Amino acid sequence: MVAAGTGGAAAGNDSSPSPHSFQPAPFVSPVGALSDAIVVLSLGARRIPGLPIRFGGLRGRSASGLGRFPAMPCVFCAIRDGQLPALVVAENERAFAVLDINPINDGHALVIPRAHTETLYDICDEDFVATVRLARTVGAAIRDALQPAGLHLLQNNGVAAFQSVAHFHVHLIPRWEDDGKGFTWDLVPGSPTRMAALADRIRAALPRATPAQA
């Protein structure tokens, strides 16, 4: 998913842009997730061809081994670098938060580490902590500003888990009663024997589990 908007956060009175500042930029049209597309930038009534994004090819397995992502430039890195616009709602030294261009509900935000890492298995501890802290702050702001009945904190890893951009990010999705959006699975009791065996396998893997380091 990509971000939307025409604005950004300003820091101080210095007019020169910094690596961690966001400048106003034109609107980016939504991009379909499973077809070839062209991002189009719009300045008033004038439409300007922008960054081509190709989804037809596959670039091999991800660094985390979670299958293949579509071959495409990183939208979130482009936003970070000021090459694509976004409505930035908050930021810190290691992460920033923007509104999703395809919101599930009003206030749907994405919290993104500045450093490019694909998944939960690749992100370093410092970036992970900074991203989650910012997510909690933005989630509280969404609660106070929009007063939703609930809030999803959602983070997808790999194509099979519906991660559409190969750059770690957290979704904050406000929910209201009877908003019609769904998000349920059928509850089917697990086999106690199978679950015990799975728990043993996970425990056995813990000593060799190697999260990314800074």
Show me where the domains of the chain are located: 27-208
Query: Is the confidence at residue 40, as pLDDT, over 90?
Result: no
Catalytic residue among 108, 152, 167, 169: 169
Across 38-61, average pLDDT: 28
Across 125-139, average pLDDT: 97
Query: Is the confidence at residue 38, as pLDDT, over 70?
Result: no
For the question of residue 169 being annotated catalytic, the response is yes
Query: Is the confidence at residue 24, as pLDDT, over 80?
Result: no
27-208: CATH, from 3.40.50.150, 1.10.8.50, 3.30.428.10, 3.30.1360.70? 3.30.428.10
pLDDT computed for residue 65 by the predictor: 53
DSSP string computed for 147-214: --SEEEEE---SGGGT--SSS--EEEEEE-TT-S--------PPPHHHHHHHHHHHHHHGGG------
Query: Is the confidence at residue 16, as pLDDT, over 70?
Result: no
pTM: 0.68
Query: Could you read off the pLDDT of 67-116 as tens digits, one per residue?
Result: 555 567 899 999 999 999 999 999 999 999 999 999 999 999 999 999 99
46 HSE (CA, 13 A, CB side): 4
Query: Could you read off the pLDDT of 164-180 as tens digits, one per residue?
Result: 888 999 999 999 999 99
